Structures are given as structure tokens and as C-alpha cells.
Amino acid sequence: MSEERSLNFIEEIVEEDIREGKHGGRVLTRFPPEPNGYLHIGHAKSICLNFGLALKYGGQTNLRFDDTNPVKEDVEYVDSIKEDVKWLGFTWAKELYASDYFEQLYAFAVELIRQNLAYVDDSTPEEIAVQKGTPTVPGTGNEYRNRSVDENLQLFAEMKAGKYPDGAKVLRAKIDLASPNMHLRDPLMYRIKHAHHHRTGDQWCIYPMYDFAHGESDAIEEITHSVCTLEFIPHRPLYEWFIEKLGIFPSKQYEFARLNLNYTVMSKRKLLQLVDEQYVDGWDDPRMPTISGLRRRGYTPASIRDFCERIGIAKRENMIDVGLLEFCIREDLNKTSWRRMAVLDPIKLVVTDYPEGKTEIFTGENNPEAEGGEGGRDIPFSRELWIEREDFMEVPPKKFFRLAVGNTVRLKSAYIVKCEGFKKDDAGNVTEVYCTHIAESRSGNDTSGLSVKGTIHWVSVPDAKTVEVRLYDRLFQVEDPSNEDGDFKDYINPESLHILPHAYIEPDLANAVPGKGYQFIRKGYFTLDKNSTPEKLVFNRTVTLKDGWVKK
């Protein structure tokens, strides 16, 4: 969007900091994904915000993999995240990994033990939970809390050296067991996990917890504005406590409302279930809210950035209608896509007064929305054409301006034809429609003086190529599947994918380029799917031309 908009509250903070000369006016943000899944449209909001701030204020953004949990993380995810951020159009200053800081984080932990601000606790998770109390009941300490600094130093070194099994001990910050903020009741800093890490291998068997690793990674990189989602508000005092006690770079945390989108789920844990249990064809299934799914569906980076700009940055959560996302891609594709003709549900139209074996070449503009039309393409016309089944009616209702016996319509970019009759098979299905054409009504040189109310698209039978077309609907039947009774998967829309194995395209569409959007005239916006082969192209419908979706 090019219109001026007022600053969002994070931009206001950044501008204030720059005015005050904080950090010398420097702006360094970071996007910190955990490589435990593919990025989704919610991450796109965070990416656009973080990279957008840096772009706007002459700063930079680090891409930091928050890879402190060895079990769920994978290089496949790292690669996909990099691809998606690049595809969205952003360039990071540095590619960094929290795991690169393990040595430094360990030293920070030792420093806190030395200050008697951290201790090794042998309690079980259950015991710790009970001892923590509840928001209204203060927690109680245990004997481990009073361990000496020396004993803690030794035990922590032994934890690191692999002397203890998983779960035998944890390192906790010693803060305040009576704090009204549960996150300050001696939070965990390290846990023992004898697990292979995708980068550090078997070097470590203790891993830092998010709250300890995150702020300290920000400080190590000297991040000026660390933005995250609202659920981290109660973590902020802890973020600040660690930084203050360690006397390290004072990164500051700011929180904004996460994106919630209706008719889908966004948590990586749930998306992973859809993939693993094969409800969808992988993380990049065109029905998924992932960046890779949207890309495969035909969304453009510009449309996603536009969407993120339109939803804005707020301090309160709300639910965004997926219709807005669809609006953004329609806006973009209307301006950029090339127009082509394809017949999805074909019946044959025979132009009975047109010579057999004759072919005429008509031309059509690629993009009437663009200056100069971006060139054109040849469209062969012949006696036999494919048209949409729904464009003919045996018994038409009033105001049906398409084909019915006696009606005239224009065949897009070609002639006006008059419907004279039709043929049915034994089952009563219409198989062929018969028309005559008005020779003087050639598109671009129409001297017929006729005006018709309907224009339909078509594909010449001998020139048509057969393709598969995949039509998508919302993946879930309800607005907020995570908030319904039972399992979210119970609400999957059984009709979210509709495959048309025998659609016909005009010949030029055989040159379709991956990643480009095409408007199939009257049918919507489409893009080539990665399952295409030279023998059989597959097209995904990105979105219909108009918002025709009705609640079921």
C-alpha cells in the first residue's frame, strides 16, 4: 500500500529512541524462529514487522535460529525458513544460531551462580510445580535452594560433563518464590537432555531454556528492539532481570498482538500433525497457512506484505478474516496476471457453419490492466470448441445471457454465435451444443451492428491441451477449530480439495511459467503446481475472481 498511514506503536517507540539518541540512533532487530516447523502467515507478520522497522529506520535485522531444543529441530526447517524469508523479499544482516552461544550462555549461567543468583535443584518437575505455589499462594523453597555457591558450581559443571541422566537436575534462577509473577518464581535456566543437536551434535547434554537463552542472545547481538508476541508480556521482568544481573547489553522487549486467521490453525504443533497424519500433502500443501503453502497456491510476496501492512500492529489480539488475505492476492493478480482461457468442466460446441479443418488465429492481450497490455498471444479458433457446461442451459431462467437455443453470445476474442440446438446422451446429459456464427462480428473488426449481453470463454478442440486443475476451499469448516470441542482435526473440511482431471487450456498456456499467476478468464487466478510434468500440467486455483464464499 502506498497511502500514508500513521505510525504503529512500535514505530513510535523506535522514533522516540532515535530522537533521544539511544544506542546512537542505531536500530537492530531480529527474527528468531525456532527451526521446528515451516513458517506460516503469522510468522510473515513478525518478519514484515522486524525487517520493516529496520528498512524504515536505516537499521538491520538478524535472522536468528532459536535452536535451543535439540529434539524437535531439523536442518530441513532451517533451509525452508531461509527460503521463505528471502522469498518474502527480505535480506538479513547475519544468519545466527542461538546454539552458537551455548558456550557464552554457559558462562553467563556460571556468573549468576557465582553471584548466588542461580542454584542446582534435584527436585522432580512435579515437585517443582507443587513448590512453586499458585498465583494466589506463594511458593515454598526447598533444601536445594540453600546450596553453597561452590557446590552449585561443581554440580553445574558435572551436569555439563554428562554425569547425570535426563531430568535428574535443573539449574534455576534464584529470584522470588513469592512473586505475583509466576515466571519470577525461580524459573528454570537449564535442563539435562542427552540428545543430538542438529548443529552442536553431541557436544552438549544441558540445554538452556527459552527465557534464559532468548534475552541473552539478544544482548550478545546487541539487538536494540526485540519484538515478540503478547504472551511474552509476563516474561519481560525475567528478560530484564537476567540482563540487569549480568550487566550485559540492555536489549528491550516489546510485545504486539499475534496474527490469528479464521478457518485455519497456526500453531506449528498442529500444522505438523496435519502433515504427519497426511491430512494434507506436506507443509507446502496449497491449503496450508504456511508461507510455502501460500506460495504453491499462487500467492505473491507482494500480496503477503500488503496483507501484513493492512492488518497493522496492535496491542490487542483479534481474529482476521481470511477474506482479507484473499482480497490482497486478488488485488495483486488483477494487476499482474496474464489472461488466458481454460475450460474446467467441458462440453463441446460445434460451429456448424464454420468450415471443417479451417483454423483462424485471433489475438488476445496478455494483461489489459497493464500499460500496453504486456503484449499478446495467438488464440486458434476452429469449428469445434470446448465451452463450460454451465454456459449452456436447456431450459434457461430469465436473464440467462449465455447459451440457450435462440440466444446469441460472444465467444471471447472471436465471433458472436447463435445457439441453434443441442444433443443429449442416453442418460439425458447434454453432450454437444450447435451454433452458427456471424462472420461480420470478428472481435476487433465487428461490423455486424449486433450487441450481445453475454461473453463466454472457449478453447479450440484440436488445439486444446488437457491439464489437471485443483480447486481449493478452506481447510476447516469452522472459524476457530482450535477453540471447538474435541480435536481440531474433527473440523477439517472434507471438500477442501476438488480435482478436475480433464480441463482444457488454450495452447499458449502450455508455456506457463512456475511462480507466475494467470487469470483463467471468468474462472479465477491460477498458477502452475510443482506436481506438473511435461506430459501433464497441473494448475492450482489461487483464488476465485470474486469473494463468493458463503458460510455453511
Q: Which is nearer to Mg ion, 34 or 353 (CB)?
A: 34
148 binds, among Mg ion, ligand ATP, none (CB under 5 to 8 A by kind): none
With residues binned 3-state (H G I as helix, E B as strand, rest as coil), the percentages for the chain, rounded to 5, are: 35, 25, 40
User: Looking at this protein, which amino acid is placed at residue 481?
Assistant: P
Q: Which of 478, 506, 113, 162 is nearest to 339 (CA)?
A: 506
Backbone angles phi, psi at 486, to 5 degrees: 75, -160
Verify binding: residue 61, ligand ATP, rule CB under 6 A: no
Q: Give me the catalytic one of 22, 26, 34, 516.
A: 34
User: Looking at this protein, which amino acid is placed at residue 235?
Assistant: H
Given a contact cutoff of 8 angstroms between Cβ atoms, the answer to whether 119 and 144 are in contact is: yes
Question: Whole-number minimum distance, CB 47 to Mg ion, in Å?
Answer: 14
Q: Give me the catalytic one of 64, 160, 185, 268.
A: 268
Question: Looking at the DSSP assignment, which residues form a beta bridge with residue 438?
Answer: 416
Q: Which is nearer to Mg ion, 34 or 151 (CB)?
A: 34
Q: Which is nearer to ligand ATP, 225 or 410 (CB)?
A: 225
Residues 277 and 258: their CA atoms lie apart, in Å, by: 27
Residues 123 and 74: their CA atoms lie apart, in Å, by: 31
Q: Dihedral angle at the C-alpha atoms of 285, 288, 291, 296, nearest 10 degrees?
A: 30
266 binds, among ligand ATP, Mg ion, none (CB under 5 to 8 A by kind): ligand ATP
Active site residue 530: no
Cβ of 32: how many Cβ atoms within 10 Å?
A: 23
Active site residue 34: yes
Name the residue whose CB lies closest to Mg ion: 34
Q: Which is nearer to ligand ATP, 317 or 490 (CB)?
A: 317
Active site residue 268: yes
Binding mask 343-382 for ligand ATP (x = CB under 6 A): ----------------------------------------
The residue within the footprint of ligand ATP, chosen from 11, 25, 34, 142 (CB under 6 A), is 34
Verify binding: residue 33, ligand ATP, rule CB under 6 A: yes
Q: Which of 292, 297, 300, 296 is nearest to 331 (CA)?
A: 300
Q: Are strands 360-365 and 376-381 parallel, antiparallel or unpaired?
A: antiparallel
| Vertex 266 angle, CA 499 and 518, to 5° | 40
Verify binding: residue 64, ligand ATP, rule CB under 6 A: no
Q: Which is nearer to ligand ATP, 291 or 409 (CB)?
A: 291
Question: Whole-number minimum distance, CB 274 to ligand ATP, in Å?
Answer: 13
Q: Is 272 helix (H, G, I), strand (E, B) or coil?
A: helix
Question: Whole-number minimum distance, CB 39 to Mg ion, in Å?
Answer: 12
Q: Are strands 408-411 and 518-520 parallel, antiparallel or unpaired?
A: unpaired
Verify binding: residue 435, ligand ATP, rule CB under 6 A: no
Q: Which is nearer to ligand ATP, 321 or 394 (CB)?
A: 321
Q: Give me the catalytic one of 199, 258, 310, 412.
A: 258
User: Looking at this protein, which amino acid is placed at residue 504?
Assistant: Y
Question: Whole-number minimum distance, CB 264 to ligand ATP, in Å?
Answer: 11
Q: Which is nearer to ligand ATP, 394 or 487 (CB)?
A: 487
Verify binding: residue 446, ligand ATP, rule CB under 6 A: no
Cell of 209: 531454556
224 binds, among Mg ion, ligand ATP, none (CB under 5 to 8 A by kind): none
- Residue 240's contacts (CB-CB under 8 Å, 6 or more residues apart) are 215, 253
Question: Whole-number minimum distance, CB 268 to Mg ion, in Å?
Answer: 8
The residue within the footprint of ligand ATP, chosen from 10, 27, 29, 45 (CB under 6 A), is 45
Question: Is 180 buried (19+), middle (13-18) or exposed (0-12) by CB count in 10 A?
Answer: exposed
**Candidate segments 1-9, 37-45, 180-188, 487-495, binder of ligand ATP by CB under 6 A:** 37-45
Residue 265: alpha-carbon gap to chain centroid: 11
Q: Which of residues 231-290 bind ligand ATP (CB under 6 A)?
A: 258-259, 266-268
Question: Whole-number minimum distance, CB 34 to Mg ion, in Å?
Answer: 5
Verify binding: residue 82, ligand ATP, rule CB under 6 A: no
Backbone angles phi, psi at 350, to 5 degrees: -110, 125
Verify binding: residue 42, ligand ATP, rule CB under 6 A: yes
List interacting residues with Mg ion (CB under 5 A): 34
- Residue 369's contacts (CB-CB under 8 Å, 6 or more residues apart) are 334, 335
Name the residue whose CB lies closest to ligand ATP: 42
Q: Which of 56, 29, 42, 28 is nearest to 84 (CA)?
A: 42
Question: Whole-number minimum distance, CB 226 to ligand ATP, in Å?
Answer: 9
Verify binding: residue 213, ligand ATP, rule CB under 6 A: no
Cell of 275: 502433515
Q: Are strands 455-456 and 408-411 parallel, antiparallel or unpaired?
A: parallel
Q: Which residues are catalytic?
A: 34, 258, 268
Residues that bind ligand ATP (CB under 6 A): 32-34, 42-43, 45-46, 66, 228-229, 258-259, 266-268
